[in-house]
Amino acid sequence: MIHSSIKKLVVMDVDGVLFKGHFILHQARHAGRLIYIRTALLCFLFSINKISIQELITRVYARFKGITLEHAKKVYQNITVIKHARETIETLRKHGYRVVLISSGVPDFFVKDLATRLSAHSGYGVEIGTNNSTLTGEVFGRLSRSTGKKEIIEDLLHENNLTWKDTIVLVDDRNNLNIMRKASINIGVNAHYSVRQQAQYLIDSGNLAEALDILDIADADTYKTLFAGMRKQYAHSWYQEIRRKLLHILIASVPIFSNLVYHTTLTVLFALPIIYMISECLRINGYSFPMLGRITKSSIRRMEERGVAFGPVTLIFGTILSLLFFPPVIASTVILIVAFADAAATIVGQSMGNHRIFYNKKKSWEGTIAAWIVAFLCGCIYLPISYALLVASFSSIIESLPLKSLDNLLIPISTGILLMCLGYS
């Protein structure tokens, strides 16, 4: 049967995209600690391409043998659904999109129920064996295989007289790579690293309605309601830079603490990059470290979404090296400069920078001048005016160079070395 009114097919994965987390992990958590640990390990092995989706699902569901359907249903019903899922799907349907939910990890009857709840056209999940309302531990059907999603989508395209060029997919893990490559638009939602590297667009906000902004559906009332403030945020992306630089400025508190508890301050500074890198590894695989992960997501730049954002690491190591190798006065000076001057350069450059620097088109003369002024004021706190003028000029030149996040390391270290060479201590 051909549906001439359908103009595109939108395929949404369930685990990690619509669900916060994965059904099998939620179910394993309720099945016992050992089963949960085993399931988490198998999911990790799958994520690093050591086992196939078929092996993952087969081995996990084998451990669910004996669980009642009623218990599994309670687990399913308690899983949080991503924000604005229903509104987004209703808007897509209103504008002629056929929305289908497909999952290789969630049982078919739950995916169909979820499709009804969220107003999707249909849902397809993995087939699982049951006996007297109890799971037998068996899994079967097309979606238990790595090619299952592709086969189902091709059937749907044929049914609706569409092609892969008319297909949009919202996915999160490597089980979807084959359909990502064939679809005209692919969107990674809380995506794992392999998907994050190949996705055309990324959604990490926990709000599915961002997909509407990506697809740019015109004249959608729901779209206008949900995104009354969102387009403004995109138009003024420097608001994100302000949040980023406010975190940057926190490093200015280090000289105060180091004067009071030097060794404790160093210990904390050495621990922070380790915690941060753990948080980043989780973020680029679709998870979130408690509190820190949310802060990072709200302040990273778009270009940093696909990999680790190293800015905080270089900033902290620049601070650590300053404390270790420079006298307190020099260390305090260069830490204040990297905290405040770099922030001033970014905020002024983003908000009013109109004259590009000829050797670095990404930065402006307005931002560099702001960095010079702030660096001079920071220098005046500890240094004579002549030295303050010198370090302001030197550090602002370094800040203007195309160094990306390395300026967080080079500004304090090179400025400190300059002062040491001048004999200041």
In angstroms, the CA 117 to CA 137 distance is 27
In tens digits, the chain (425 residues) has pLDDT values of 344 467 899 999 999 999 988 999 999 999 999 999 999 999 989 988 899 999 999 999 999 999 999 999 999 999 999 999 999 999 999 989 999 999 999 999 999 999 999 999 999 999 999 999 999 999 999 999 989 999 999 999 999 999 999 999 999 999 999 999 999 999 999 998 889 989 999 998 889 998 988 887 544 444 444 444 444 444 445 556 666 777 778 899 999 999 999 999 999 999 999 988 888 888 877 777 676 666 666 666 666 677 788 888 899 999 999 999 999 999 999 999 999 998 888 878 877 878 888 888 888 898 899 999 999 999 999 999 999 999 999 999 998 888 877 888 999 999 999 999 987 76
Query: What's the confidence (pLDDT) of residue 165?
Result: 94
Instruction: Name every residue whose Cβ is closer than 8 Å to that of residue 312 and which is 6 or more positions away in sequence.
Output: 247, 272, 273, 276
In angstroms, the CA 408 to CA 420 distance is 19
Yes or no: say if 223 and 91 are a contact pair by the CB < 8 Å rule. yes
Name the amino acid, one letter, at 246. L
The phi and psi torsions of 360 (rounded to 5 degrees) equal: -155, 90
In angstroms, the CA 99 to CA 93 distance is 7
| pTM reported for the whole predicted model | 0.75
The phi and psi torsions of 125 (rounded to 5 degrees) equal: -130, 180
Query: What's the confidence (pLDDT) of residue 152?
Result: 96
Pick from 87, 91, 83: which is nearest to 220 by CA?
A: 91
Query: What's the confidence (pLDDT) of residue 238?
Result: 53
The phi and psi torsions of 173 (rounded to 5 degrees) equal: -125, 175
| SS3 per-residue string spanning 195-260 | HHHHCCEEECCCECCHHHHHHCCCCCHHHHHHCCCHHHHHHCCHHHHHHHHHHHHHHHHHHHHHHH
Yes or no: say if 137 and 63 are a contact pair by the CB < 8 Å rule. yes
Domains of the chain with CATH codes: 11-233 (3.40.50.1000), 236-421 (no CATH)
